[in-house]
Amino acid sequence: MGQTHLTPQETALPPSTPTQNEPNNNAVRSHILFAFGLMLALALAWRLRDVLTLVYVSGLFAVVLTPVVRSIMRFEMRGGRHISRALAIVLLLTFAFLALAVFFTLGLPPVIRDIHQFAVDLPDRIPTIVDRLKRIPYADKLGVDAIAQKAEDGLSATAEYLFASFPLWMGRIFDLLTGFVLCIYFMLEGDRAYQWFMSLFPVNDRLRLAVTLEKAEIRMSKWLFGQGLLMLILGVCSTIAFGILHVRYFFLLGVLMGLMNIVPIAGGVITILLVGFVAALDSWTKMAAVFVFYLVYVNIENAYLVPRIMRQSVDLMGLTVLIALLAGTELAGLPGALVAVPTAALIAVLMNEYLVQKDA
């Protein structure tokens, strides 16, 4: 019988290659590892959310203060030498400490006096407050007497709360000191951290990203300066106005108006409601005068001060500022509210550069 001879090409077995529908084991393995690593990173970030918040707030304040440090470094000393970064930071901190020392020396004693007087006067003035509230229509349906009783009980509970929450306040002070140290380190070693961050991106994309981040840095720095100036103006005007109106504890309330203005919109509204309540202890007319002053100031601020101080720095819509404040407060409380607006400015610059489709 004849045999069929196969050619070498026919006898050679083709290599085992995966078909088009067969999954690539290496790709599947890498996707699984990436998903596992991402979940682990998210869990770790959630566990360290307080630390990450502190680092972010410190880094953001370092970013907005770095241009001030660079301005100090441009100053020429004898021999044409420039001030070093470390010395510029020391000079900036020295100026900040001197400003705080002046405030604590001149402004703190009246504030402490007003706080003490308020604590002494409040128990005696609760009946007056209740009597005034009862004159409001339908006040009896609000349970004014029960509210007054709870207020009296709250005075004794306040001391117990302050004593019990002492460790918590000490922790907040420790966080403040830690953030202060971190901010100094960010200003000292910020350039090295920035270079490392830029090395994570392709070389061709670094120039565009560097220009974008520089724009964001300028806007955030101008926001810090502008917001500080607005806080100072509101604090001074409020203290003078409340003093002219003979509002009780006017110095304390004026300082609070200025400090709370660091949280745009919400800070001023909350504080003026407190001032109106204190003014109402004397008369409804005085409360109305306080609200009239604030309405006049807000209109002057929005029409004259904000366009000249803030518009060229942050340039955000009021709705954007409000949403940023709500989100920042929900995520990180007061620290989140403090950095909400500059963070929104940073995101706005990045979105304008990389996401917004510009008309040709």
pLDDT, residue 289, reads: 92
Question: Per-residue pLDDT for 233 more than 80?
Answer: yes
Query: Does position 48 have pLDDT exceeding 50, yes or no?
Result: yes
Section 313-318 average pLDDT: 65
Residues 6+ apart with CB under 8 A from 345: 216, 219, 220, 223, 313, 314, 315, 316
Mean pLDDT throughout 198-217? 87
Residue pLDDT, tens place only, 155-175: 445 545 545 555 555 556 777
SS3 (DSSP) at 76:
strand
Question: Is the model more confident about 358 or about 336?
Answer: 336
Task: Note the pTM of the prediction, 2 decimals.
Answer: 0.64
CA atoms of 350 and 348, how far apart (whole Å): 6
Q: What percent of the chain has pLDDT over 70?
A: 74
Q: What's the rounded mean pLDDT across residues 212-235?
A: 83
Give pLDDT, residue 159. 47
pLDDT of residue 141: 52
Q: How do the domains of the chain map onto residue ranges?
A: 36-106+169-198, 201-355
Mean pLDDT of the 260-279 span: 81
d(CA 101, CA 61): 21
Predicted confidence (pLDDT) per residue in 53-85, tens digit: 888 888 888 887 888 888 888 887 777 787 888
SS3 316: coil
Query: Which DSSP letter does residue 358 get?
Result: -
